[in-house]
Structure 1
Amino acid sequence: MSGTRRGGGLLVAGTTSDAGKSVVTAGICRWLARQGVKVAPFKAQNMSLNSFVTREGAEIGRAQAMQAQAARVEPTALMNPVLLKPGGDRSSQVVLLGKPVGEMSARGYHGGRQEQLLGIVTDCLEQLRGTYDAVICEGAGSPAEINLRRTDIVNMGIARAARFPVVVVGDIDRGGVFASFFGTTALLSPEDQSLIAGYLVNKFRGDVSLLEPGMEMLRSLTGRGTYGVLPFQHGLGIDEEDGLRVSLRGAVRESVVAPPVGQDVLRVAVCAVPLMSNFTDVDALAAEPGVIVRFVDRAEELADADLVVVPGTRGTVKALEWLRERGLAEALARRAAEGRPVLGICGGFQALGEHIEDEVESKAGSVAGLGLLPVRVRFAVEKTLARPVGTALGEEVAGYEIHHGVAEVLGGEPFLDGCRVGSVWGTHWHGSLESDGFRRAFLREVAAAAGRRFVPAPDTSFSALREEQLDLLGDLIEEHADTAALLRLIESGAPSGLPFLPPGAP
């Protein structure tokens, strides 16, 4: 694509949330990168509790960091200028250009800042277009959320501003995909419809020829074709966008490789605390052969676990209340007394401490922690955003920090920025388990404390596995999408003369 017009692009929209926009965006980025195209991902506004810290110390959605890796470029705040981090049903922390700027209700957010925000996100997109051959944008939810169209800066709002063509992704596994494609298009204004270039079917199981009559009828009704049918693919394992949508019963991440003969399976239980954030921290554990990771919400589910993880959360005090209400706090205390392993990460680490002083996040004031680690936490107005490196258990470790709580460690054995007491560990560092040597050393400690005959695989590379996943996404696009047509869209924009569908047509 070298030599084409400056800064082409495409917006990947969806008929619904979870239609597969993040996967398709990452796949297109990886496919283009393999063609030698200098490409960047972009999502104007993201709502997610899973975030990442860039090298310059900016907080962005983990999905955009993953897409940047797919594009083989370094993630920056330009790729996700607005990040909303829910703190409950009615409010979110607004992170603008990588830095928190305050809490805001949904009504307040949509009530008066959108024109200013549209200018900011458009400027970020233009900066990317000035640097990259192509920018692949991801929408949010559905572009047909007509109640929010006036304040939209992430779907048709940004497509209109950039004059980018739009491909709408639909999840056929949910059913009703053709009606969703038609209805999404018909609900849009003529100006917005002029940018809807066509559709992409996602998560199809079966014979593609069975879809052809429907795709032909869709073309006759809308004047728009289908750019491909992506098959359902098990075990993609890419970063989830929103921890609030975890299905406790379905969120089981299991290694597909069994442990060597004669070794035990190691079971990890993750407490699915409210406002759970960066639960992707445990993906590296699930990548190990013979390690089974599951999310739990009942005390009895900890009984057979060899390791319990209390993960990050956007509401540490709320998580403490939840742990106590469900009997999980008592179960964790019993584990600690019995020398059975527990790991607290970020908000989970704070909850394991002795005392919390919070006038910032929950405004609850003084709150007793679980008392499993000699740590006192004070919440600061300024958020810590960092990319620390260090050593632990004799191994090099890299991670990232995203927290308002400042921990004062009063004792125990040093462990990253936190501490260890017996079989209980705590740290603010997200992503530390992605460091292969450290993860293996940690699992050896866990196995010994749990009395398991388990030895981590010496050649498991989390970064290599992630690259394999991203290549698989690129393969899905290359093998099952009309890449020539997608390239024309990126270079030349939406075809001219696309018909307008009045609501209720035909």
Structure 2
Amino acid sequence: MTKIAKRVMFQGTSSHVGKSILTTAFCRILAQDGYKTAPFKAQNMALNSYVTLSGGEIGRSTVAQAEAAGALPIVQMNPVLLKPTGNSCSQVILLGTSVGNYSASEYQNHYSQRAWDTVKKSLDYMETHYDALVIEGAGSPAEVNLKKNDIVNMRIAKECQAPVFLIADIDRGGALASIVGTLELLEPEERALVKGLVINKFRGDISLLEPALTFLKEKTGIPVLGVIPYLEDLGIDDEDSVSLQDLPSDHVMRDIHIAVMQTPKISNFTDFDALNHEPDVNLRFVQQGDMIGDPDLILLPGSKNTTEDLLYLKRQGYAKEIVEMAEKGVPVIGICGGFQMLGEKVCDPLHVESSNDEVEGLGLLPYTTSMHGKKNTYQVTFDCDDLPFLGMQFAGKGMRGYEIHMGETTLTKPAQSLFHIVQRSEDKVDLQDGFINEKRNVFGTYCHGLFDNDDLRRAVINALRRRKGLPELPVQFKYRAYKESEFDRLAKMVRTHFDMDAFYEILRNE
């Protein structure tokens, strides 16, 4: 007889209430308790993505959930990924592969229903390959203008008859009204699937909240099963760049100051998470209107729309300032879209990303990039024989990262390559990646996850320390071990503040 997984689903009264984090927590909890567990999110809208071993692209938050569950990320965990390109348009990723750009109305009124077939097949696959599925919704299930074409909230819950836990964020205010209002807008059969309420991001004395909890139970007939405290500095990948607004304001002065240019279409900002946890580093995202200041290093991140983000840097005056600072010796590193911006120009003759035929680059490295229809998505293993950035002469083997990019980059004159890619997904390859300038203070690469490699990250920081006359330090922070400890910390905290007996009773009866 075919095995059917146990299923639970987390939905929210709005976006950014903590669905992703609580899904992550229960992926860890169920895995700790002996279930072969996996996350599932039918449709995700995010610029923060990752590449599976098969070369498919899925949301980064789903990957974090899979890691928490100890499961290998696969495309069936997130069958539909929408990557906004601007002007109410998104690139649609179906089972890990781009199927084109669609306007919001085109997708909602037509393509989303075609995507539903893929979602159902993915859900069927997941239900027969795992013991437990922790399913995440998106936004709110009560968006009446979107419910007709819903493929991610109550339609999923009804499809697999998953018990739903409804989450509200009390930190932003209006939690009680948002819960009652959401439930009122659900159809009776949808409301019947909601088995528990969760108050998230609570600060203060819970005894003062008791009248509200009693009110909710009496008003809705649904118990509050968890009041989850606000958890500071949680080192788990976030869904999208909206979470950059929640980065802690750390006024501790550290030795090294790094500025990340937060462009409008920034993608994969998690490339810099590990740097943010280094004890001797201050990491700052430079938003519109901010001064770049006097950083020890400028980072140009990935972009979903390289030419538009490049034009943004020019309009804001940042491009000119970055070039002038680099020419004076300030170090600059570009990753993916940032790597393309460092070159002489970025061409998009087929209008793959935008309506711009070409945009002049920063001219700090001697190459041009031309966009084309094929998207490169690979996990990569790479070696480095010599990274002479600021004279550091780093060498390393078996480092890990991933590629997600459109376009081909071609040298206009000789330049030193940096990384030797030896494996792309499951294939052995022999490819060169990345270039560095003659002054050795500017380099770029297509490899996302570069700074997740502890030895390389520390080597770069030590090069910056030497430049300031500071002593080198050994590896201070181990990123992957830290993430595992954060999954455990999250799971322990949720177990403490959630009625786990009630949760497992619901799980047994679903």
Question: So what's the TM-score if we normalise by structure 1?
Answer: 0.92
Matched, 1:483 2:477: no
Matched, 1:266 2:256: yes
Identity %: 41
1:364 is paired with a residue whose SS is coil
1:43/1:139 contact within 8 Å kept: yes
- Distance in 1 separating the partners of 2:474 and 2:195: 47
- Distance in 1 separating the partners of 2:29 and 2:174: 29
- Distance in 1 separating the partners of 2:79 and 2:333: 32
Which residue of 2 is the match for residue 408 of structure 1? 410
Q: CA deviation at 1:453?
A: 1.2
2:145 is paired with a residue whose SS is helix
Deviation sequence 1:244-279 (CA, Å, 0-9, x none): 5643xx6457598x8xxxxx6101100011110001
Deviation sequence 1:451-502 (CA, Å, 0-9, x none): 2515344242000111111111111221111112112222322xxxxxxxxx
Which residue of 1 is the match for residue 49 of structure 2? 51
Q: CA deviation at 1:197?
A: 1.0
Which residue of 2 is the match for residue 442 of structure 1? 460
Q: CA deviation at 1:237?
A: 2.7
- Distance in 1 separating the partners of 2:447 and 2:250: 23
- Distance in 2 separating the partners of 1:365 and 1:459: 45
- Distance in 1 separating the partners of 2:216 and 2:288: 47
Matched, 1:281 2:271: yes
Cα 1:204/1:5, change in 2 over 3 Å: farther
1:30/1:70 contact within 8 Å kept: yes
Cα 1:252/1:419, change in 2 over 3 Å: farther
- Distance in 2 separating the partners of 1:5 and 1:212: 41
- Distance in 1 separating the partners of 2:328 and 2:276: 25
Pairing partner for 2:58 from 35, 57, 60? 60
- Distance in 2 separating the partners of 1:253 and 1:120: 42
Pairing partner for 1:149 from 144, 147, 153? 147
Pairing partner for 1:200 from 192, 198, 218? 198
Counterpart of 1:380, as a letter, is: H
Unmatched tracts of structure 1, length 5 or more: 259-263, 494-506
- Distance in 2 separating the partners of 1:253 and 1:79: 34
1:399 is paired with a residue whose SS is strand
Counterpart of 2:395, as a letter, is: G
1:268/1:292 contact within 8 Å kept: yes
Cα 1:20/1:299, change in 2 over 3 Å: closer
Which residue of 2 is the match for residue 160 of structure 1? 158
Higher mean displacement: 337-346 or 234-243: 234-243
Counterpart of 1:117, as a letter, is: A
Pairing partner for 1:102 from 89, 100, 103? 100
Cα 1:452/1:228, change in 2 over 3 Å: farther
- Distance in 1 separating the partners of 2:176 and 2:248: 31
- Distance in 1 separating the partners of 2:341 and 2:3: 53
Deviation sequence 1:179-209 (CA, Å, 0-9, x none): 1111111101111111111201111011112
- Distance in 2 separating the partners of 1:169 and 1:298: 32
- Distance in 2 separating the partners of 1:298 and 1:214: 40
Question: So what's the TM-score if we normalise by structure 2?
Answer: 0.91
Pairing partner for 2:307 from 312, 317, 342? 317
Q: Report 1:246-261 matches (<5 A).
A: 246-247=244-245, 251=247
1:299/1:327 contact within 8 Å kept: no
- Distance in 2 separating the partners of 1:307 and 1:252: 20
Which residue of 1 is the match for residue 425 of structure 2? none
Cα 1:63/1:253, change in 2 over 3 Å: farther
2:94/2:115 contact within 8 Å kept: no
1:130 is paired with a residue whose SS is helix
1:477/1:483 contact within 8 Å kept: no
Matched, 1:394 2:395: yes
- Distance in 1 separating the partners of 2:368 and 2:275: 28
1:166/1:195 contact within 8 Å kept: yes
Counterpart of 1:149, as a letter, is: K
Q: CA deviation at 1:303?
A: 2.7
Cα 1:423/1:228, change in 2 over 3 Å: same
Pairing partner for 1:432 from 429, 437, 450? 450
Counterpart of 1:54, as a letter, is: T
Pairing partner for 2:479 from 462, 466, 469? 462
1:86/1:92 contact within 8 Å kept: yes
Counterpart of 2:498, as a letter, is: A
- Distance in 2 separating the partners of 1:47 and 1:33: 26
Deviation sequence 1:103-131 (CA, Å, 0-9, x none): 00111101123333222112211211101
2:340/2:369 contact within 8 Å kept: yes
Q: CA deviation at 1:340?
A: 1.1
- Distance in 1 separating the partners of 2:154 and 2:456: 45
- Distance in 1 separating the partners of 2:475 and 2:250: 19
Counterpart of 1:162, as a letter, is: C
1:118/1:158 contact within 8 Å kept: no
Cα 1:322/1:115, change in 2 over 3 Å: closer
Which residue of 2 is the match for residue 242 of structure 1? 240
Which residue of 2 is the match for residue 497 of structure 1? none
Higher mean displacement: 478-487 or 425-434: 478-487
Counterpart of 1:401, as a letter, is: E
Counterpart of 2:264, as a letter, is: P
Cα 1:164/1:104, change in 2 over 3 Å: same
Q: CA deviation at 1:223?
A: 0.9
Which residue of 2 is the match for residue 114 of structure 1? 112
Deviation sequence 1:217-238 (CA, Å, 0-9, x none): 1111111001111111110032
- Distance in 2 separating the partners of 1:381 and 1:370: 24
Higher mean displacement: 109-118 or 463-472: 109-118
Cα 1:389/1:106, change in 2 over 3 Å: same
Which residue of 2 is the match for residue 373 of structure 1? 365
Pairing partner for 2:12 from 14, 26, 31? 14
Q: CA deviation at 1:299?
A: 8.1
Deviation >6 Å, runs of 4+: none
Q: Report 1:329-408 matches (<5 A).
A: 329-358=319-348, 359=350, 360-392=352-384, 393-396=394-397, 397-408=399-410
1:253/1:294 contact within 8 Å kept: no
Matched, 1:418 2:419: no
Counterpart of 1:134, as a letter, is: A
Which residue of 1 is the match for residue 284 of structure 2? 294
Cα 1:353/1:253, change in 2 over 3 Å: farther
2:435 is paired with a residue whose SS is strand
Unmatched tracts of structure 2, length 5 or more: 385-393, 420-432
1:110/1:151 contact within 8 Å kept: yes
1:201 is paired with a residue whose SS is strand
1:429 is paired with a residue whose SS is coil
Cα 1:108/1:430, change in 2 over 3 Å: same
Which residue of 1 is the match for residue 68 of structure 2? 70
